[in-house]
Amino acid sequence: MRRWLGLGGLAVIAGLAVFWIVTTPRPLDAAALPANYKADAKNGELLFAAGGCASCHAVPDEGKCDNPHYTDHQRLAGGRCLKTPFGIFNVPNISSDKADGIGGWTDLQFVNAVTMGVTPAGEHYYPAFPFSSYTRMTIPDVLDLKAYLATLPAVSGKARPHELPLPLQWRRMLGGWKFLNFDGKTFATDARQSPEWNRGAYLVQGPGHCGECHTPRDPLGGPLTGWRLAGGPAPEGKGWVPNLTQAKDGLAEWSKHDIASYLGTGLTPVGDSVGGSMVAVQTNMALLPVADRLAIAEYLKSLPPLENPRPKK
């Protein structure tokens, strides 16, 4: 009996050790940053639009946390609340305010937050922040984004704490989610494809983080990569996000110019207008150069069809 108890104790200790190792945050070190890099705030402004940063972080109209509309895209004090099946995530302040925002962050802290999902305090971010897509961004682009954010007004005010069940309040648990769903890899150019295709793929997979909403998820909130961009239940639990592949229930009937026009004008090929949470996304995509919207369309038109029809009521 003592022998079995001893072996059981060793197994528990070994299991805890593995858990601790697997769930340890792994930020980049300073050597990962490019030496003597001069950030380009103009490119950062483009990435700010592509990433839809204002969609979550701009102060919502009327002060209502569940209001997806905002008047001033430069007031980045947060205040949105994302109601998900896992709980309510309250979006933080990312303005240049040094006390309540990110004005006091170093370049390395910002890069680790955006690309590695690690807070300045060395803890995991919740994947409601789409770092698993932003990790595809190049570090110079992330530094350009930081340079642009630094030009925007400092706005005071801290977000409320997230409203989550007890197990999820322990951020260490998120290391397990990352182990299953996060690879930390930067976008790799495909030499077999055109520069336009690669630009579109980068924008969709990285700053645009389209897969965060348009890819269905498993019960733990991990993306079902076999159904990438095939649409599915809305992450906030209401509605259905459309299929972006070349399936019949997706974009098969849309031309490259139809897609680019929709991103620029908000009008579908049959004259319908954009609705729901896509309104804010399209508003931001309209700020991109036409060449970028065409590049996104070029990439989307190359996706193989994945039929994922909306379930019947």
Question: What pLDDT digit, counting tens, does each position of 40-83 carry?
Answer: 999 999 999 999 999 999 999 988 888 888 999 999 999 999 99
- Residue 8: pLDDT over 70: no
Predicted local distance difference test score (pLDDT) of residue 80: 92
Same domain for 169 and 206, yes or no, is: no
Q: Could you tell me if residue 311 is inside a domain? A: no
How many domains is the chain partitioned into structurally?
Answer: 2
Same domain for 133 and 225, yes or no, is: no
Q: What is the mean pLDDT of the chain?
A: 93
pTM for the model: 0.93
Taking only the tens place, the pLDDT of each residue in 214-264 is 999 999 999 999 999 999 888 766 788 999 999 999 999 999 999 999 999
- Residue 4: pLDDT over 80: no
pLDDT category of residue 37 using cuts at 50, 70 and 90: very high
- Average pLDDT of the residues in 309-313: 68
Same domain for 136 and 261, yes or no, is: no
Q: Could you tell me if residue 21 is inside a domain? A: no
Range with lowest mean pLDDT among 30-44, 105-119, 236-250: 236-250
Of all helices (H) and strands (E), which one includes residue 21?
Answer: helix 2-22
Decide: 124 and 172 in contact? Cβ < 8 Å. Answer: yes
The helix/strand/coil state of 215 is coil
Q: How far is CA 65 from the centre of its chain?
A: 19
Domain boundary among 120, 152, 181: 181
Same domain for 173 and 215, yes or no, is: no
Q: Could you tell me if residue 1 is inside a domain? A: no
Distance CA 261, CA 247 (A): 20
Predicted local distance difference test score (pLDDT) of residue 48: 98
Same domain for 65 and 158, yes or no, is: yes
Domain that includes residue 176, residue range: 40-181
- Residue 5: pLDDT over 80: no
pLDDT category of residue 3 using cuts at 50, 70 and 90: low
Predicted local distance difference test score (pLDDT) of residue 238: 74
Same domain for 50 and 161, yes or no, is: yes
Same domain for 68 and 163, yes or no, is: yes
- Residue 287: pLDDT over 70: yes
Distance CA 146, CA 169 (A): 28
- DSSP notation for 137-181: S-HHHHHHHHHHHTTSPP---PPPPPB--HHHH-GGGHHHHHHHH
Q: Which residues are bridge partners to 88 per DSSP?
A: 83, 163
Predicted local distance difference test score (pLDDT) of residue 6: 65
Q: Could you tell me if residue 116 is inside a domain? A: yes
- Residue 11: pLDDT over 90: no
Same domain for 102 and 212, yes or no, is: no
Share of the chain above pLDDT 90, in %: 81
Same domain for 46 and 173, yes or no, is: yes
Q: How far is CA 256 from CA 68, 253, 269, 270, 271, in A?
A: 28, 10, 11, 15, 16
- Residue 167: pLDDT over 90: no
Using the Cα atoms of residue 296, residue 298, residue 299 and residue 304 in order, give the sign of their dihedral.
positive
Predicted local distance difference test score (pLDDT) of residue 291: 98
Predicted local distance difference test score (pLDDT) of residue 162: 95
- Average pLDDT of the residues in 110-120: 98
Place of tokens 């336009």: 196
Domain boundary among 181, 215, 249: 181
Same domain for 78 and 156, yes or no, is: yes
